[in-house]
Amino acid sequence: MGRLENKTIVGAVGPVTFSRWRGKAVVKARVMKGDIRQTDATKNAATVFGIASSFGANLRDNMREIHFIQDGTAVNRMNKETCAILRKHRDASTGDFHFQPDAFKPIEGFEMNQNSPMRENFLAMPEVSLQNGKLLVRIPEFAVNKTLKFPREADSCTIIISVYIASLKTKDECMMDGDMTETFNIDRHQQSFPSTEWSYDIPEGCFCVTSMALHFHTQHSNLQVYLNNKSFCPAMICDFSINPGEFKDKPKKWMTTNFAFEDGAHPPIKKKTKKKQNPIVIKSDQKNAKTKKIAHAKKKTSKKKSNNEVPAPCLTSQDQLLQYLEIQQQQNEALQQQVKELQVQLAELKNLVSDSKASIKPSAAQNIACTVIMQANLLNIVKPDGFPIMPTISVTTSAQRIPDKLLDSFNHKNRGKPAA
């Protein structure tokens, strides 16, 4: 359903979809149900992409403490990087992820805003190392005018460094409070910045992400104006480390999150295959006994079978089965032809019966019946129920036939009332 928002149509209307992309109104073809047919490989790839997308969203959400402003391509670029890492470390048989301590090193140095890269505005990158469950973050000493690049209007800069810690296999994460973030204010006219370092405890089975952003300001009388915008906001991921092991004891300041690389949560999609039936192995003794029984049964039934009958198929090969089906089809066609011929003969018989019924006139049939009844009354050959006994002619009674004169007297032309 389309709707009007700020004089622009947004939503699906028929085969197209109206939307906004980077502040512009766009129209694209609507993806209907059933238009896309996925294979098992594409479904597995889509599963990995969905996990990578959720993981990237979780990272960006917990990097909010550095207050970065990302560009329009940051989401797609991060999904591409995390997707490549997840595909490399996913078990194809179980779908579980097994990460090495340096698995996410390719994501280090990821720029959150390509319009203002961090490496072009700050040269003294923080040094991060993880040893024996201790994460050490150190900013080396640097000269401000040579290391930090200020915009023309800027008078000061604030460096914000944040560390996000979470469990890999369970949905547990460290609370992002003030202890997980460090800020440093640097004046434009400052000569140098001293070396600074601090550390965090990383439990086993957890990962930690160190991110940094630069925020520039200018001073107008008593008001400090923020200069960062969508086209200029240096921010990046400095380090991504993993402390191997199994996460057991949940610290006090930890809370529950909505994402983790849990085992068994995303099994791979495999093609369903039909199980092949194992062939039946018959021993030699059993085979000989069965063949004898079959031969004996064939001898008994051979006398009863006609020439047109076909024996039951021996499903030992595909060719014999096809041959048997062809013979059965021929027999069915022959039976159908016989049925058609019988139907034609039945129709002819019905026509003959109807013609013979039409040839006998009703009046003649009635006259014949009346003659027979009157003759039976005269000869006293009537049954008790009133029906005449039809005369039969035999060798002994052939001489005692009714005279012709008596029969002529009962002719339908000369019939009248009987004598008193």
pLDDT of residue 395: 40
Report pLDDT for 222. Answer: 85
Q: Quick one: pLDDT at residue 355?
A: 77
**Neighbouring C-alpha atoms within 13 Å toward the C-beta of 100:** 7
Judge residue 334's burial from the number of C-beta atoms within 10 Å of its C-beta, 0-12 exposed, 13-18 middle, 19 or more buried.
exposed
Q: Are 142 and 267 in contact (CB under 8 A)?
A: no
Say how many residues make up the chain: 420
Q: What is the pLDDT of residue 121?
A: 94
Query: In angstroms, rounded to a whole number, what is the distance separating the alpha carbons of residues 76 and 219?
Result: 36
Which H or E run includes 172? strand 172-174
- pLDDT of the residue at 414: 47
How much is the pLDDT for 385? 52
Positions of the chain with pLDDT under 70? 34-35, 272-317, 357-420
Nearest-angstrom CA–CA distance, 252 and 272 = 46
- Is 158 within 8 Å of 142 (Cβ atoms)? no
What are the residue ranges spanned by the domains of the chain?
1-31, 41-256, 367-409
Q: Distance between CA 358 and CA 329 in Å, rounded? A: 44
Kindly report the pTM of this predicted structure: 0.60
Question: What are 21-64's pLDDT values in tens digits?
Answer: 877 888 888 877 766 778 888 889 999 999 999 999 999 999 98
